[in-house]
Amino acid sequence: MFKKALISIGLLAFSLGTQAEVKITLSSKIKNAHEKAIKKDLKVLSEFKFSEEGSEDTLYYFGIESLTNQDLEEWLDARVNWIIPETEMDKLKIVEGEAATYPDNGVPVVETPDLKPQGKGVVVMSNIGTALYFAGKQSKKHMGLKIKTSMFNRDKVMIDSPRTGIIMIGEGLFMRRLQINRQNDDSVANSLGRLQTMFHEARHSDGHGKHLGFFHAVCPEGHDYAGLNACDRNMNGPYSIGASLMKEFIKNCEECTEGETEVMKLVWIDSLNRVIKDTETIAENTNVEIKALEVDIALKETVLSLASTEAERIKITAELVELKKQLKELASKEGLLQVVPSPILDPAPESIIR
Ligand SMILES: [Zn+2]
């Protein structure tokens, strides 16, 4: 079988006389057509004309002073370095290295979803570099990953920080029904759609301690994705990044048709709606009933984490949903429910200590 050589995408963009570059190494296992599409997407990014200045939110979330191709390329370059296809996942060669010292600043609490996505899920993209860094931090080992690049020797990537930027792409990224323009595969709008996904994923390469990787939160009751792990409980996470970028694309796209712009607006709103602006919590209290319920919930959550069958998991999850509902009703009756606005988190990444 013909093996593609490792390719390093080096794109030059000239902006105000300076040059930016997004260097991404693609696994040799990526399909030809997909490789071509990714290269095109990066070219679209380097040539996209931002005629209007970015909104204040966009500049703030991205930590940039003005919206230029160069700034966005540098942003992406710092966070996405390797791309591997989903098909490589089952033969993923994880290297468990030596003991390593990680910062003593805590780890994220991964929210347990109440539901599983309906139907057969399709993978679009996932930041596995950050997932491996997190795993390494928990086991206090230096993790690495072997990536097939066939021609060169750089196939072992050691994961020193969430910024390692190993991104896995799935069929969903290129699936026609998930594109902005389903009639014209090559449209610029389709590249813009994939770019917003890539920038979303890139944000998972940020953060430290309790918000390492900007992990998603479970969407609240009443939300379109209620019970699913598909929201952010902060104002500047992956969904905000994706939404901000899409908004700027919509504002500035000269080539986009009316139909494409309509779909882009839906993508923008979908991302925006996944940002939970505030969270209901229970104020400090000495209410015995509330304390008892909280103990019950904590206990059930432990039982859930130990459940071995799917049937068991479904049963316990339903019980948990019911208990949480009771707790909320009780707290509300006692006037103890308070609304806490979601924070803007410090995106600075962490790394292993040498
Ligand atoms: Zn995400």
Q: What is the pLDDT of residues 151-192, one digit of tens each?
A: 555 578 999 999 999 999 998 999 999 999 999 999 999 999
In the three-class reduction of DSSP (H, G, I as helix; E, B as strand; rest coil), residue 83 is classed as: strand
pLDDT of residue 301: 87
CA of 28 to the centre of ligand 1 (A): 25
CA of 204 to the centre of ligand 1 (A): 7
Give dist(CA 219, CA 89) in Å, integer. Answer: 27
pLDDT of residue 206: 98
Residues with CB under 5 A from ligand 1 (ion): 238
CA of 44 to the centre of ligand 1 (A): 23
pLDDT of residue 80: 97
CA of 168 to the centre of ligand 1 (A): 12
Q: How many CB atoms lie within 10 A of CB 119?
A: 6
Q: What is the arithmetic mean of pLDDT over 3-26?
A: 48
pTM beyond cutoff 0.75? yes
pLDDT of residue 154: 59
CA of 333 to the centre of ligand 1 (A): 36
Q: Is the pLDDT assigned to residue 17 strictly greater than 50?
A: no
In the three-class reduction of DSSP (H, G, I as helix; E, B as strand; rest coil), residue 322 is classed as: helix
Query: pLDDT tens digits for 245-273?
Result: 999 999 999 999 999 999 999 999 999 99
Q: Is the pLDDT assigned to residue 14 strictly greater than 50?
A: no
pLDDT of residue 88: 86
Percentage of residues of the chain with pLDDT beyond 70:
91
Helices marked H in 180-287 — which ranges? 188-203, 238-252, 258-273
Query: pLDDT tens digits for 314-331?
Result: 899 889 889 999 999 999
- Would you state the structure tokens that stand for residue 13, as one six-digit string? 């963009």
Q: How sure is the predictor about 112, in pLDDT bands with cuts at 50, 70 and 90?
A: confident
Q: 182-220: b or e for each residue (b if 16 or more CB lie within 10 Å)?
A: eeeeebbbbbbbbbbbbbbbbbbbbbbbebbbbbbbbbe
